[in-house]
């Protein structure tokens, strides 16, 4: 039992990885990985009022979603979407918990609106005018694979093009000690049911139990295990490679996702 | 879409633990809302609190998941033979072929709120016993239920605010239709916490009196808590006449505002039309609509416009939130189970608490119970971030 989709666009942003072209060079071995703090751009496509209200989670999700949709050459508003994150906005959550532990318990309405885990999905939909279904999934460290499975199931059932956006950012102290995500990492994929002139690769995915693929570079392997959304790195490496390949990404407990990648360029 | 069978289902909310109590409350239009006495909260509002959560221990093996949200999940799982039905599915299909997809908005964040009060005065660190993965993380309730029932299949939490658990039905349905699983445990669990009580207070959306959806004098919502589950499977060759099917799912996004609905319910209309299309039904085929109906002036106005736009004014509809409160991430699942009960028992539930229906809302809102054979019911759930989801349930007979 395997599920297929065509990848038409990719966006990446993380520590030392500014975008997909530079990440692809690193992952294909053409350039050495140099870790550096992730730099998140302000989301210029949001109206000023919304832009002021957004934190790092929304900036990250919108940045990779924009890169992937531009890469695919699609109108973002035409795409259904699956967003996925291991947690919500950690800084926003911290501020709310601080306020609730204080005497007056006053929390700001904007903080509360932004506390929903689908905040990035909401801001993205507003920014591009996308009225298609937008899902929001969480599966702790397995959040990327959970979103990829839902995206592939949607492609199989609905046959509509779709945007997958998986992202995680850090918590500030004291929550950081309990969930030590070190920095921000986001990945976005545009998936279709049919091949087009934009298609980068075809993927075939199935559940399995083989060990997850590790990355040879110590820095990239550390990144893969430190940030849940970076569990996608073996798949991104296969997509950066011009040859057909097979990779395995982490999912739940003993479950893994085995992915065959067939470049179409 | 291919309809799916609700092989088993259960719900626990402030109107009852399990189906029998819930049905009695619906039949008598009893509301479970009472003055807020939750934890140390001092707000002039009413809540729908579930009795017996504090006394409901988790099995010792799974104690790391101990928090109000997972105790509520445990309490609900024990009703109506639901655990046995899931074990039976795992035995028939294999534990790998049973998925778990549950909606929640705040999971066990109450534990974090309490832990922040106990930060070390010198270092600011959280108490040693605080377990982020077992309580705070959105996935905690899914991981708990999956381990507790020894299921090994695909799983995810759906967290799209107040549409979460309706969308969990849609996610589970996709997984079955795509062939990844043979059964899906779907539903939702959301429990009282300070974030939502003080958060809705900050938005001035909490009613002081019990909420009155679609009433001319409605002035906000009442927060409740609930856990509701269904086991979805493919429809077998022969079916009992009172079997309930998930016949359609429809999802959309408002693309309008983070915390306010589109004034004409544009996205809500898309979701309802998508559900009708998935079920291959015309609007006239729907016998009753369980509204999102939160009781805030703006939600009810937008939803009434959307319902009128799709169905006109003839279809009987009501919100059951006057009885249960708004159970947020669990609302979609709770109201799905209420819809299933209504189909099985020939009951169109009148909206509790509502006295005088707002004449400006052009829908057929019923305030008194009706005995009527309903064969097709639509249930609406909408949330922050513009998330919309409509589900259609039908009877086999």
Q: Spell out the domains of chain A, with CATH numbers in brackets.
A: 3-263 (3.40.47.10)
Give chain B's domains with CATH numbers: 4-395 (3.40.47.10)
pLDDT recorded at residue A57: 96
- Model ipTM? 0.97
pLDDT recorded at residue B269: 98
pLDDT recorded at residue B397: 73
CB A259 within 8 A of CB A249: yes
Q: Which residues of chain A have pLDDT under 50?
A: none
Cα dihedral B139, B148, B70, B116 in deg (nearest 10)? -60
119-178 in chain A: CB under 8 A from chain B:
119, 121-123, 125-126, 128-140, 143, 146-147, 149-150, 152-154, 156-157, 173-175, 177-178
B320 DSSP assignment: S
Instruction: Encode pLDDT of B197-233 as tens digits.
Output: 999 999 999 999 999 999 999 999 999 999 999 999 9
CB A184 within 8 A of CB A60: yes
pLDDT recorded at residue A199: 97
CB B391 within 8 A of CB B246: yes
Structure tokens at B171: 């996610």
pLDDT recorded at residue B277: 98
Share of chain B above pLDDT 90, in %: 99
**In the predicted structure, residue B99 carries a pLDDT above the cut 80:** yes
Mean pLDDT is lowest, of A41-55, A200-214, B151-165, B252-266, for: A41-55
User: What is the rounded distance in angstroms from the CA atom of residue B150 to the CA atom of residue B95?
Assistant: 7
Q: Which helix (H) or strand (E) holds B202?
A: helix B194-202
Give B100 to chain A, closest Cα distance, Å.
11
Distances (CA, A) of B157 to A43, A188, B191, B281, B299: 27, 20, 15, 30, 25
Inter-chain contact A150–B384, Cβ cutoff 8 Å?
no
**Checking DSSP bridges between strand A256-263 and strand A201-208, what pairing results, if any?**
antiparallel
Name residue B101's beta-bridge partners: B156, B186
Interface test with A, best of B145, B156, B167, B265 (most A CBs within 10 A): B156
pLDDT recorded at residue B150: 98
CB A219 within 8 A of CB A6: no
**In the predicted structure, residue B375 carries a pLDDT above the cut 80:** yes
Name, in order, each residue with C-beta under 8 angstroms of B8's C-beta and a sequence gap of 6 or more. B80, B81, B82, B85, B86, B230, B231
> Smallest Cα–Cα separation from B300: which of B207, B222, B206, B218?
B218
CB B53 within 8 A of CB B76: no
10-69 in chain A: CB under 8 A from chain B:
50, 53
Inter-chain contact A117–B152, Cβ cutoff 8 Å?
no
Structure tokens at B37: 């006495």
**In the predicted structure, residue B235 carries a pLDDT above the cut 80:** yes
pLDDT recorded at residue A165: 98
Query: What mean pLDDT do residues B237-252 have?
Result: 96
Supply the residues of B annotated as catalytic. 162, 292, 326
73-102 in chain B: CB under 8 A from chain A:
96
CA-angle at B168, arms to B162 and B170, nearest 5°: 115
């Amino acid at each position: 039992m395997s599920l297929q989709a065509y990848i038409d666009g990719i966006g990446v942003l993380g520590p030392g990885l500014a975008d997909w072209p530079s990440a692809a060079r690193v992952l294909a071995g053409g350039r050495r990985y140099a870790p550096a703090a992730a730099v998140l751009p302000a989301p210029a496509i949001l109206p000023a009022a919304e832009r002021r209200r957004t934190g790092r989670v929304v900036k990250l999700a919108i940045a990779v979603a924009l890169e992937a949709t531009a890469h695919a050459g699609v109108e973002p508003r035409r795409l259904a979407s699956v967003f996925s994150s291991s947690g919500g906005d950690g800084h926003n959550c911290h501020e709310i918990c601080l306020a609730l532990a204080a005497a007056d318990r006053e929390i700001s309405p904007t903080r509360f609106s932004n506390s929903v885990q689908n905040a990035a999905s909401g801001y993205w939909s507003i920014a591009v005018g996308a009225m298609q279904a937008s899902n929001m999934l969480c599966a702790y460290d397995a959040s990327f694979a959970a979103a990829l499975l839902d995206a592939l199931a949607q492609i199989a059932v609905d046959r509509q093009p779709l945007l997958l956006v998986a992202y995680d950012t850090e918590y500030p102290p004291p929550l950081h000690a309990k969930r030590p995500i070190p920095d921000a990492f986001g990945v976005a994929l545009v998936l279709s049911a049919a091949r087009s002139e934009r298609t980068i690769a075809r993927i075939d995915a199935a559940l399995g139990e083989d060990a997850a693929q590790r990355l040879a570079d110590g820095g990239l392997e550390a990144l893969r295990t430190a940030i849940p959304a970076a569990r996608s790195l073996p798949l991104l490496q296969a997509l950066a490679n011009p040859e057909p390949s097979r990779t395995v990404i982490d999912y739940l407990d003993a479950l893994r996702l085995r992915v065959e990648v067939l470049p179409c360029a | 879409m291919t309809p799916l069978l609700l092989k088993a289902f259960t719900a626990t909310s402030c109107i009852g633990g399990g189906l029998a109590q819930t049905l009695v409350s619906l039949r008598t239009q009893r509301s479970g809302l009472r003055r807020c006495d939750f934890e140390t909260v001092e707000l002039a509002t009413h809540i729908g609190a579930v009795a017996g959560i504090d006394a409901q221990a988790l099995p010792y093996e799974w104690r790391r998941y101990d928090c109000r949200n997972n105790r509520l999940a445990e309490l609900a799982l024990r009703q109506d033979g639901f655990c046995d039905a899931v074990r039976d599915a795992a035995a028939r299909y294999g534990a790998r072929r049973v998925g778990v997809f549950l909606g929640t908005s705040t999971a066990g964040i109450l534990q974090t709120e309490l832990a922040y009060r106990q930060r070390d005065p010198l270092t600011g660190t959280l108490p040693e016993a605080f377990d982020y993965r077992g309580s705070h993380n959105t996935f905690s309730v899914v991981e708990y239920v999956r381990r507790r029932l020894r299921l090994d299949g695909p799983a995810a939490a759906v967290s799209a605010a107040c549409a979460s658990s309706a969308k969990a039905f849609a996610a589970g349905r996709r997984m079955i239709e795509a062939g990844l699983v043979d059964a899906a445990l779907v539903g939702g669990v959301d429990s009282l916490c300070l974030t939502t009580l003080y958060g809705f207070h900050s938005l001035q959306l909490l009613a002081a009196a019990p909420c009155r959806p679609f009433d001319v004098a409605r002035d906000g919502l009442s927060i409740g808590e609930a856990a509701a589950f269904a086991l979805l499977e493919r429809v077998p060759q022969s079916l009992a006449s009172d079997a309930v099917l998930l016949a359609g799912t429809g999802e959309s996004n408002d693309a309008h505002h983070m915390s306010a609905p589109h004034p004409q319910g544009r996205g809500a209309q898309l979701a309802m039309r998508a559900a009708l299309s998935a079920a291959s039904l015309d609007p006239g085929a729907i016998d009753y609509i369980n509204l999102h109906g939160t009781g805030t002036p703006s939600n009810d106005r937008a939803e009434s416009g959307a319902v009128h736009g799709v169905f006109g004014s003839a279809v009987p509809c009501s919100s059951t939130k006057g009885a249960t409160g708004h159970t947020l991430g669990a609302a979609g699942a709770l109201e799905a189970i209420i819809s299933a009960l209504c189909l099985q028992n020939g009951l169109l539930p009148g909206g509790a608490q509502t006295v005088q229906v707002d004449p400006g809302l052009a829908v057929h809102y019923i305030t008194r119970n009706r005995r009527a054979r309903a064969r097709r019911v639509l249930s609406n759930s909408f949330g922050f971030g513009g998330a919309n989801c409509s589900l259609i349930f039908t009877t086999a007979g």
